[in-house]
């Protein structure tokens, strides 16, 4: 998947900031992202066994 | 084609590399790069931006692959040919208004790209060059297809190389050029944060693009989180990028730099000349310039650009340089208003000129490596270089000789009020070589002096000279 990676490191913090700067339009996405993280934290995420999912 | 070389500054993007061959500027595309080019060249944005002069003219070079050496085109899928920019310059040689206009061009093209489901993969001011005082985006290889769910990869780079330098100058009065020259990647979010005071937190853009940016970056520094993937899965969408770009554009548009009284600006552009001197000097320069048409002229110590404009009547490109950023900024804005496209104003201190920078010291080139002038104006400058800059008079003339250029040079004598003022700041006897007789002897040894004229005030002498063979 080399071709899909940018040559520039976008920076994790910079990407998160783009979500925070999104205002109202980003609320739903932010909520969904937090929800998914919470499920993963509680090990309730169905995709835990998905081989494509990151190990962490 | 002979003598084709990879441009040393273009190695970062593996899908798009620039090659210089016999004065032509070519671009080698990988198969991915070719797909991106196909998408861009079919877009309305490309047609419009090229027609408006905002994007460099580009076409496919049909026999490009066959005409270049095999080793060079290994892995390349196509070759593009670009319109050649008259003189390459770097952001640390631009003034505030230039960097601001380059930032606005970058954002305008990005928004246009997003409209057609394309995006710019980076946000580097090194992708902007100038036709005179008109900015032109040169990196056609930056455009690629927008990937759904992916944030703007170039946002951080936009902050580091465009926004933070502009904020520093607009809000703090700190010249950005030494920062950009000191680090080609620009100013880190945390470094910019550290430069901001409590008062600055209330200025537009600081809290969000600087403070929050630095904090989030710190918090993510040691994290293994795949944020890009998380954002994609949560449904990150193009509208968020568009909103951010629009917000940045409003912010950048509002930024202004009001320079304090600089060494030059405080006594007016031509306060030290009588009208008679000024007219005679104009005429002298006009005569020297009218001899033929010039491809490239350098106006060293250009001040308000009066002589650049005179010479521009006979030149394809005049690079107007001055060590006072406020003066160059004013010149840039006035050239922009006039729609001048043959005079490129640059902030350059000849005593401390742009060095070779970057990987192998070859990514960014020195001033003289970027093109030799056929004619050089050096008016009302030598006293600054020799007295303020402490460069020996002969050394300065030897450097001018090394440019292999026809020279129009002015020598203000030690009776000139400005020379007196500069000498008064120094210990007596520090500049014994700053003397008309010695100057003329050195000039005569290095150049064939064609004509000279003493202005009516008697304290300024003009010379036209050709380098001795």
What ipTM describes this predicted complex?
0.84
Q: What pLDDT, on a 0 to 100 scale, did the predictor assign at position A43? A: 76
Instruction: State CA B455 to chain mean position distance.
Output: 34
Report how far residue B63's alpha carbon sits from residue B187's, in angstroms, rounded to the nearest whole number: 42
DSSP conformation class of B170: I
Instruction: State CA B442 to chain mean position distance.
Output: 33
Among B31, B34, B9, which residue's Cα sits nearest to residue B20? B9
Report how far residue B315's alpha carbon sits from residue B247's, in angstroms, rounded to the nearest whole number: 40
Chain A residue with the nearest C-alpha to that of B33: A3
Among B465, B350, B461, which residue's Cα sits nearest to residue B411? B461
Enter the tokens of residue B331. 């010149």
Q: Which residues contact B240 (CB under 8 A, 6 or more apart)?
A: A18, A19, A21, A22, A25, A26, A29, B151
B383-408 in b/e form (b: 16+ CB < 10 A) is: bbbbbebebebbebbeebbebebbbb
Residues of B in contact with A36 (CB under 8 A): 230, 233-234
Q: Which residues contact B239 (CB under 8 A, 6 or more apart)?
A: A25
Considering only A31-35, B44-48, B125-129, B163-167, which range has the smallest mean pLDDT? Answer: A31-35
Cβ–Cβ gap A4/B239 under 8 Å: no
Question: What is the per-residue pLDDT across B401-440, written as a single tens digit (0 to 9) for each?
Answer: 999 999 999 999 999 999 999 999 999 889 999 999 999 9
| Best residue in B156, B159, B160, B241 for a mutation probing chain A (most A CBs within 10 Å) | B156
Among B15, B220, B53, which residue's Cα sits nearest to residue B137? B53
- The torsion of the CA quartet B108, B114, B118, B120, rounded to 10 degrees, works out to 40
Considering only B199-203, B234-238, B254-258, which range has the smallest mean pLDDT? Answer: B234-238
Cβ–Cβ gap A18/B122 under 8 Å: no
Query: Does residue B160 belong to the interface with chain A, where contact is any CB pair within 8 Å?
Result: no
Among B201, B199, B206, which residue's Cα sits nearest to residue B163? B206
Asked if residue B75 has pLDDT above 60, the reply is yes
Report how far residue B363's alpha carbon sits from residue B302's, in angstroms, rounded to the nearest whole number: 27
Question: What is the per-residue pLDDT across B99-129, written as a single tens digit (0 to 9) for each?
Answer: 999 999 999 999 999 999 999 999 999 999 9
Query: Does residue A27 belong to the interface with chain B, where contact is any CB pair within 8 Å?
Result: no
CB B152 within 8 A of CB A18: yes
Cβ–Cβ gap B153/A8 under 8 Å: yes
pLDDT, mean of residues B360-370:
93
Asked if residue A2 has pLDDT above 50, the reply is no
Cβ–Cβ gap B13/A7 under 8 Å: yes
């Amino acid at each position: 998947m080399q071709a899909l990676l940018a040559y520039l490191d976008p920076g994790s913090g910079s990407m998160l900031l783009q979500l925070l700067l999104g205002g109202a339009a980003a609320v739903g996405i932010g909520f969904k992202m937090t929800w998914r993280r919470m499920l993963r934290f509680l090990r309730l995420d169905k995709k835990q066994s998905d081989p494509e999912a990151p190990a962490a | 084609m002979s003598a084709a070389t990879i441009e040393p500054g273009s190695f970062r993007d593996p899908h798009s590399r620039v090659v210089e061959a016999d004065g032509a500027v070519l671009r080698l595309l990988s198969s991915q790069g070719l797909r991106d080019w196909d998408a861009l060249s079919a877009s309305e944005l490309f047609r419009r931006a090229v027609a408006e002069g905002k994007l460099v003219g580009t076409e496919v070079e049909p026999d490009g692959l066959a005409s270049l050496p095999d080793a060079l085109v290994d892995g390349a899928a196509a070759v593009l040919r670009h319109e050649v920019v008259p003189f390459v310059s770097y952001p640390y040689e631009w003034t505030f208004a230039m960097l601001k206009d380059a930032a606005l061009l970058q954002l305008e093209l990005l928004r246009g790209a997003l409209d057609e489901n394309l995006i710019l993969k980076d946000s580097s001011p090194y992708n902007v060059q100038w036709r005179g005082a008109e900015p032109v985006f040169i990196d056609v290889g930056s455009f690629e297809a927008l990937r759904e769910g992916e944030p703007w990869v170039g946002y951080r780079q936009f902050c580091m190389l465009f926004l933070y330098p502009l904020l520093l100058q607009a809000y703090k009065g700190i010249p950005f050029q030494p920062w950009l020259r000191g680090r080609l990647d620009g100013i880190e979010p945390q470094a910019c944060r550290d430069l901001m005071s409590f008062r600055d937190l209330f200025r537009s853009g600081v809290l969000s693009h600087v403070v929050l940016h630095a904090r989030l970056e710190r918090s993510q520094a040691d994290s293994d989180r795949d944020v890009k993937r998380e954002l994609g899965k949560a449904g990150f969408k193009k509208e968020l990028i568009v909103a951010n770009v629009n917000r940045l554009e409003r912010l950048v548009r509002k930024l202004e730099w009001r320079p304090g009284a600089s060494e030059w600006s405080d006594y007016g552009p031509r306060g030290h000349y009588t009208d008679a001197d000024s007219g005679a000097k104009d005429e002298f320069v006009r005569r020297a310039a009218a001899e033929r048409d010039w491809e490239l002229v350098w106006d060293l110590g250009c001040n308000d650009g009066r002589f650049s404009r005179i010479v521009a009547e006979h030149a394809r490109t005049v690079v107007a340089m001055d060590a006072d950023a406020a003066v160059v900024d004013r010149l840039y804005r006035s050239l922009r208003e006039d729609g001048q496209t043959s005079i490129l104003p640059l902030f350059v201190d000849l005593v401390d000129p742009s060095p070779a920078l970057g990987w192998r010291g070859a990514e960014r080139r020195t001033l003289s490596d970027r093109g030799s002038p056929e004619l050089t104006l050096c008016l009302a400058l030598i006293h600054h270089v020799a007295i303020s800059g402490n460069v020996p008079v002969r050394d300065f003339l030897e450097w001018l000789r090394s440019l292999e250029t026809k020279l129009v040079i002015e020598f203000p004598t030690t009776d000139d009020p400005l020379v007196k003022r500069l000498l008064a700041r120094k210990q007596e006897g520090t500049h014994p070589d700053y003397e008309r007789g010695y100057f003329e002897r050195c000039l005569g040894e290095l150049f064939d002096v064609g004509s000279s004229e003493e202005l009516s005030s008697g304290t300024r002498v003009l010379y036209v000279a050709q380098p001795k063979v």
